[in-house]
Amino acid sequence: MTTVTTPPDADERRAVPPVICYPTETLPQPDMAVYRAARAALTEVARVIVPPRDAAAIAVPAGHFLRIVSIEGAQVGDLNLFNVADLTERFYSGKTRALHGTHVTTGDRLWSSFPTLRPMATVSHDTLAWYGIDGFGGSVHDVIGTRCDPYTGRLLSGADYHHCCHSNLTRALADHAGLPLAAAEAHVHDVLNVFMCTGFTRGTGQYFMKASPVCPGDYIELFAEIDLLAVLSACPGGDCSAQHSSDTAVCHPLEMQVLRPAELTGWVPPAVNAYDRSHGR
């Protein structure tokens, strides 16, 4: 075994201050006054219940709001977003994390994949915004986790489990879009973990989860910047206080509502990214 020697300037190296990778001072900011005014009078135009350990899909026209609601008990959801007209344009959790941080709340945006890289949705309201960052480093609505999936489950436990969020999202997308399961699975992507309370341990840097603070009546609301297809799985881990792929955890349904504003003044749909790809990418 090779011994690693601590260099004499180790503390000095560790003390180098960090630099933000993507300074956002020049990032176009949403005009939250536009969304607040639009929220003053909303009419529900569609609704779907997401059963426990299952998923559902709903279309959200641009200029409408998607509200994800806790209706019975503490429950975490895994959300995928797509351009209705082009499933290859989908939510890019990694870039959203790089721009806004590990967790999102009111005023943050959910960005799409390359080459469009534009806001798909803006978080217009979050009843859990009060939570902030707790003493463990945990916060709510993360863009860290990938989604529970049967492949990692098989790797770690040797067992097959068919109601992971990845599997639920695949089936719901296939049913909604009329795709074979294999074709739908290729579109399922890393998620916004709605209501999930997560962080990284200080000692080992491991991804952790803890009981979600969500209560019935809490919701996160997204303003659709483009025509969206939202696919949401009600995680088999329930509130994710102990496990996330389980047939024994207490689970509850979630609700997705599509809300149309009576007036929408001052909103401009986002253009696709202006990068010129003709000169080598």
Q: Is 173 left (phi over 0), alpha (psi -120 to 50) or beta?
A: alpha
Query: Mean pLDDT throughout 128-145?
Result: 97
Report, in angstroms and rounded to the nearest whole number, the Rg of the chain calculated over CA atoms.
20
Instruction: Find, among 274, 207, 85, 156, the residue nearest to 164 by Cα.
Output: 156
Q: What is the DSSP letter of 91?
A: B
State both tokens at 114.
Answer: 């390359």
- Secondary structure class of 124 (helix, strand, coil): strand
Render pLDDT for 96-116 as a digit per residue (tens, 0 to 9): 999 999 999 999 999 999 999
How does residue 248 score in pLDDT terms, banded at 50, 70 and 90?
confident
- What is the rounded (10 degree) CA torsion for 128, 130, 131, 132? 120
Instruction: Name the pTM for this structure.
Output: 0.96
How does residue 139 score in pLDDT terms, banded at 50, 70 and 90?
very high
Task: State which amino acid sits at residue 72.
Answer: E
State both tokens at 104.
Answer: 């999102």
Query: Mean pLDDT throughout 244-270?
Result: 94
Query: Mean pLDDT throughout 37-58?
Result: 98
Mean pLDDT of the chain: 96
Instruction: Find, among 80, 6, 12, 82, the residue nearest to 50 by Cα.
Output: 80
Share of the chain above pLDDT 70, in %: 100
**Residues, the chain:** 281
Instruction: Specify whether the CB–CB gap between 140 and 213 falls below 8 A.
Output: yes
The pLDDT assigned to 281 comes to 62
Query: Mean pLDDT throughout 41-55?
Result: 98
Share of the chain above pLDDT 90, in %: 92
The pLDDT assigned to 81 comes to 98
How many Cβ atoms are within 10 Å of 268's Cβ, its own excluded?
Answer: 8
The pLDDT assigned to 255 comes to 98
Q: What is the DSSP letter of 250?
A: -
Whether residue 245 is predicted with pLDDT greater than 80 in this model: the reply is: no
Rounded Cα–Cα distance for residues 110 and 104 (Å): 9
The pLDDT assigned to 59 comes to 98
The pLDDT assigned to 278 comes to 87
The pLDDT assigned to 182 comes to 97
The pLDDT assigned to 78 comes to 98
How does residue 244 score in pLDDT terms, banded at 50, 70 and 90?
confident
